[in-house]
Amino acid sequence: MARDPKYDVLFEPVKIGPKVARNRFFAVPHCNQAGSDKPGVQAAFRGMKAEGGWSVVCTEYCSIGPESDDFPHTSARLWDDGDVINLRHMTDVVHSHDALAGVQLWFGGGFAQGLESGEPQRGPSEYPNENNPQNYSHACTVAEIKEILKLYAEAAKRAEQAGFDLIDLIASDSHLPVQFLSPHFNHRTDEYGGSFENRARFWLECLEALREATGGRLVIDSRIAIDELRGPDGIELEDGLRFVELAEREGLCDAWLVKVSTYNGWGNDSGPSRFFKSHNQGWATKPVKEIAKGPVVQVGRLTSPDDMVQVIEEGEADFIGGARPSIADPYLPKKIEEGRPGDIRECIGCNVCVSRFWIGSNLACTQNATAMEEYRRGWHPEIFTEAVSPCSVLVVGAGPAGMECARVLGLRGYDVHLREAEAEIGGCVRDIMRYPGLAEWGRVITYRESQLEKLKNVEVHTGVGAMSADDVLNYGAEKVVIATGASWREDGLSGVSLAAIPGADASKPQLSTPEQIMAGKEVGDRVVVLDADGYFTGIGMAELMADAGKQVTMIVPQAQASYYTVYTLEGDNVQHMLHEKKIAVMPFHWAEAIEAGNVTTVRAFNLYREGYRIEMPTPAGRSPRKASDEVTEVECDNVILVTARRSNRALLDALEARESEWRANGIEGVYPVGDCYAPRILQLAIFDGHRLAREFDEPDARTPKPFIRERPIWGQEAMPRL
């Protein structure tokens, strides 16, 4: 299909320093935890963006030497020749798709963790690491500042050796250049502190050092936090612009990658959809564009081509930057170019991708199960191998795993019937998307719905009610995928004790499950949310109830409500929300019993009350202490049980019990996917559906095929041992 001419503007080439990008799509730096140590994964992941049409593709932050060490977080590195070789592989792949390769050179200063080198990190002043306040930055001497500038220059040379076209100096996210500029961090009194010009000196010298080291052959740009959003103590918009002016005056910066906020305020930049609509940084880029000679890159979870056109036409920026949109759909530009923007797999803004950075695991994406699997499993997001024998497949349940499995099976040429008991497809997401702030999560459904509609070999049957084992056996399908999902428990069992809570029974009017709430169950004025899950459901229920004017108390066993949202960058604003909506939280507490009645009482105990855990075995023997009966009685009208989920595996169990009948009914295999096998987060459930469909021809499709593990093997070449 031809591209819609209204999107032509997005495909104009853009001059950027000594290079030309062939369109306006700029895949900005973001972490994926491949670093320089998994060259295959790194190259294939970044290369897929180039293949999908992004004309500039960047690494994540890339350390310039062991003096800036963020381990155990994974940065890329340009420390030595080995790193050059590994990143050279990435640039080769990116270049093979006619895109420019960028590297983001990084010196973290007092924000780096320093746990591989064991060395303290150097900054403008001495201050405690925001996240590990036991360790402090060292306040550099001027000689040490000069050393750091030399490290930048040396890394720039290695970057050129590695084949990069573009060097981005990270001066956002509280890293070193902005530490010098921001009076928040910079308490110096010498030529690098005090006046604005003095505080700007280091950053300008960095840009100069990079340019000098690469002799004008490479693009030198800067990622700038145009406003740290910490008020007059830090960099505000006018300060950011003043820096841009200074650098422009000296012609030191070929382009500006604009963002906002700080390292610990990251969630105000990579805004989760719970709190931020997409296209929210026009206010930040437009004034930069007004003074910059070179191009300006805007981010803000832009997935709509119409928004993108507006960015360009309103003069907000020259490039459409994308981190999360390029993860969810590396082919985003190509899909616009090919006149099929409706096929874009839009980011839902859940930030599970970012959560993996904090956890130390590989990046993963709720929408795109192939992210980071391009190399190790050989998965391409848009290319699917044809089924070896395209048999008929019945998929029971159109929740996240079932939809994804049916979609991929369909693309592979199977004859698929996707059957959903309810009137609409989507499973648990139909509820979740109605939790406050989570509307965009509905894209999990809308994307798959639109794709399924295009597949002539997939029939979607809705409102068919629950299928029995007999229904399945008699259906006539050769293979059966069970994707019946999970439900919230009605008995209060949770990980706290792995036992039901006495008195917990959501069939009573005084207690509810989240599903019952979303189905409209009436609750009174005072609600207790019992949340052991710690992610979005408990706060979803609490906020929904608070918005309905109820008085809400959350009882949670963790140190804080919704602890997992700390990793998804929602945490700070979730805490603000709880505070502003006057939702009371009882951390480190759980319910030992619930008494339902006219007034319902939750007997809440502190996990650290005497005797709850037996602390001190002695040589004389274990001393089993009775837990004290110290409790806080919380009165309410309804208790919402966000305690644990339970897989809906009755159908699976029934079919497995009748395995002997499969063959006679023409069934070759039955395959569980997603929550009915084991409840899990959406990303993992969708991944499971995808994985099964990719490997559906394998003799043992239930067991995932091995994937490539990039690791050194001891003496492999010199002294093979096996």
Instruction: Check residue 134 for interaction with a copy of itself (CB under 8 A).
Output: yes
Candidates 179-187, 398-406, 413-421, 425-433 — which segment interacts with a copy of itself by CB under 8 A?
179-187
Residue 158 to residue 5: CA distance in whole angstroms: 41
Which residue in 190, 191, 580, 698 binds a copy of itself (CB under 8 A)?
Answer: 580
Rounded Cα–Cα distance for residues 409 and 394 (Å): 11
Work out how close the CB of 213 gets to a copy of itself at its nearest, in angstroms, rounded to a whole number.
18
Of the candidates 555, 561, 553, 533, which has an alpha carbon nearest to the alpha carbon of residue 636? 553
Of the pair 214, 362, the CB lying nearest a copy of itself is at 362
**Least CB distance to a copy of itself at residue 320 (A):** 16
Nearer to a copy of itself, 84 or 458 (CB): 84
Q: Which is nearer to a copy of itself, 456 or 709 (CB)?
A: 709
Under 8 Å CB-to-CB from 236, ≥6 apart: which residues?
A: 227, 228
| Closest of 362, 361, 298 to residue 327, by C-alpha | 362
The pair of structure tokens assigned to 585 is 């939280």
Binding piece for a copy of itself, criterion CB under 8 A, among 51-59, 429-437, 473-481, 615-623: 615-623
Nearer to a copy of itself by Cβ, of 125 and 600: the residue is: 125
Q: Is 576 in the site for a copy of itself (CB under 8 A)?
A: yes
Find the shortest distance in angstroms from Cβ 261 to a copy of itself: 8
Distance of alpha carbon 229 from the chain centroid: 22
- Quick one: 384 or 588, whose CB is closer to a copy of itself? 588
List residues bridging with 298 in a β-sheet.
320
- Which of 1, 423, 620, 664 touches a copy of itself by CB under 8 A? 620
Tell the residue number behind the tokens 């350390």, with chain if given. 63
Tell me if 304 contacts a copy of itself by CB under 8 A: no
Q: Which helix (H) or strand (E) holds 83?
A: helix 81-96
Three-class DSSP category at 447: helix
**Which bin fits 503, alpha (ψ -120 to 50), beta or left (φ > 0)?**
left
The reply to whether 36 sits near a copy of itself by the rule CB under 8 A is yes
How many residues comprise the chain?
Answer: 722
* b/e map 490-524, b = 16+ CB within 10 Å: bbbbbebeeeebebbbbebebbbbbebbbeeeebe
Residue 663 contacts a copy of itself per CB under 8 A: no
Contacts with a copy of itself, 513-542, as mask; x by CB under 8 A: -------------------xxxx-------
619 forms part of the interface with a copy of itself (CB under 8 A): yes
Q: Is 260 in the site for a copy of itself (CB under 8 A)?
A: yes
Residue keyed to tokens 């502003």: 580
Q: In angstroms, what is the minimal distance from the CB of 608 to a copy of itself?
A: 4
User: Can you tell me which of 18, 66, 413, 669 binds a copy of itself, judged by CB under 8 A?
Assistant: 66
3-state secondary structure of 493: coil
587 binds a copy of itself (CB under 8 A): yes
| Cβ 39 to a copy of itself shortest distance, Å | 4
**To the nearest whole angstrom, how small is the minimum distance from the Cβ of residue 416 to a copy of itself?**
23
Under the criterion CB under 8 A, does residue 712 sit at the interface with a copy of itself? yes
Which listed residue (446, 487, 606, 665) binds a copy of itself by CB under 8 A?
A: 606
In terms of C-beta distances under 8 Å and separation of at least 24 residues, what long-range contacts does 429-436 make, across chains too? 429/399, 429/400, 429/682, 431/514, 431/515, 431/518, 432/536, 432/537, 432/540, 432/682, 434/518, 435/536, 435/537, 435/540, 435/541, 435/543, 435/544, 436/274, 436/540, 436/543, 436/544, 436/547
Cβ–Cβ under 8 Å, residues 52 and 331: yes
Instruction: Please provide residue 438's backbone torsions phi and psi, each rounded to the nearest 5 degrees.
Output: -105, 20
Measure Cα distances from 324 to 171, 367, 628 in Å. 20, 10, 49
Stretch that binds a copy of itself, among 20-28, 229-237, 330-338, 591-599 (CB under 8 A): 229-237
> Which range, of 16-24, 190-198, 289-297, 357-365, touches a copy of itself by CB under 8 A?
357-365
Q: 514 near 529, Cβ under 8 Å?
A: no
List binders of a copy of itself among 180-219 (CB under 8 A).
184-185, 187
Give how far Cα 557 sits from Cα of 313, 434, 451, 528, 634, Å.
Answer: 51, 26, 41, 14, 15
Q: Does 617 contact a copy of itself by CB under 8 A? A: yes
Region 151-170 residues binding a copy of itself, contact defined as CB under 8 A: 161
445 touches 429 (CB < 8 A): yes
Integer Cα distance of 515 and 640 in angstroms: 10
- Residue by residue, what is the 3-state secondary structure of 272-332? CCCCCCCCCCHHHHHHHHHHCCCCEEECCCCCCHHHHHHHHHCCCCCEEEECHHHHHCCCH
Of 17-25, 352-360, 402-410, 520-528, the segment contacting a copy of itself by CB under 8 A is 352-360
Which CB sits closer to a copy of itself, 53 or 400?
400
- Contact between 456 and a copy of itself (CB under 8 A)? no
Q: Which stretch binds a copy of itself (CB under 8 A): 197-205, 243-251, 288-296, 705-713?
A: 705-713
229 binds a copy of itself (CB under 8 A): yes
Q: Return the residues of window 313-332 that contact a copy of itself according to CB under 8 A.
A: none
CB 550, CB 663: distance < 8 Å: no
Query: Does 715 help bind a copy of itself (rule: CB under 8 A)?
Result: yes
Nearer CB in complex with a copy of itself: 5/699: 699
Nearer to a copy of itself, 442 or 704 (CB): 704
* Contacting a copy of itself within 664-683 (CB under 8 A): 677-681
Instruction: Decide if residue 291 touches a copy of itself (CB under 8 A).
Output: no
Of residues 2, 498, 520, 660, which one binds a copy of itself by CB under 8 A?
Answer: 498
Which one among 644, 651, 670, 692 touches a copy of itself, defined by CB under 8 A? 644
Q: Tell me how far apart the terminal alpha carbons of the chain are, to the nearest angstrom.
A: 54
DSSP 569-630: T-HHHHHHHHHHTT-EEETTEEEEEEE-SSSEEEEEEETTSTTSS----BTTB---PPPP--
Nearer to a copy of itself, 2 or 498 (CB): 498
In this chain, which stretch among 356-364, 389-397, 412-420, 631-639 interacts with a copy of itself, using CB under 8 A? 356-364
Task: Based on the shown chain and the rule CB under 8 A, indicate whether residue 647 belongs to the binding site for a copy of itself.
Answer: yes
Find out whether 182 and 171 touch, Cβ atoms under 8 Å.
no
Q: Does 283 bind a copy of itself (CB under 8 A)?
A: yes
| Options 4, 7, 18, 71; binder of a copy of itself; rule CB under 8 A | 71
CB atoms within 10 A of CB 342: 10
CB of 424 to a copy of itself, least distance (A): 24
d(CA 15, CA 21): 6
Q: Site map for a copy of itself, 263-282, x if CB under 8 A?
A: --x--x------xx--xxxx
Size of the site for a copy of itself (CB under 8 A): 136
User: Minimum Å distance from CB 41 to a copy of itself?
Assistant: 11
Q: How far is the CB of 265 from a copy of itself (least distance, A)?
A: 7
Q: What is the C-alpha separation between 595 and 504, in angstroms, rounded?
A: 8
DSSP 346-365: ------HHHHHHHHTS----
Binding window for a copy of itself (CB under 8 A); candidates: 211-219, 412-420, 422-430, 601-609? 601-609
Is 105 strand, coil or helix?
strand
Site for a copy of itself in 102-131 (CB under 8 A): 113, 115-122, 126-130
DSSP string, 464-490: --PPPHHHHHTT--SEEEE---EEE-S
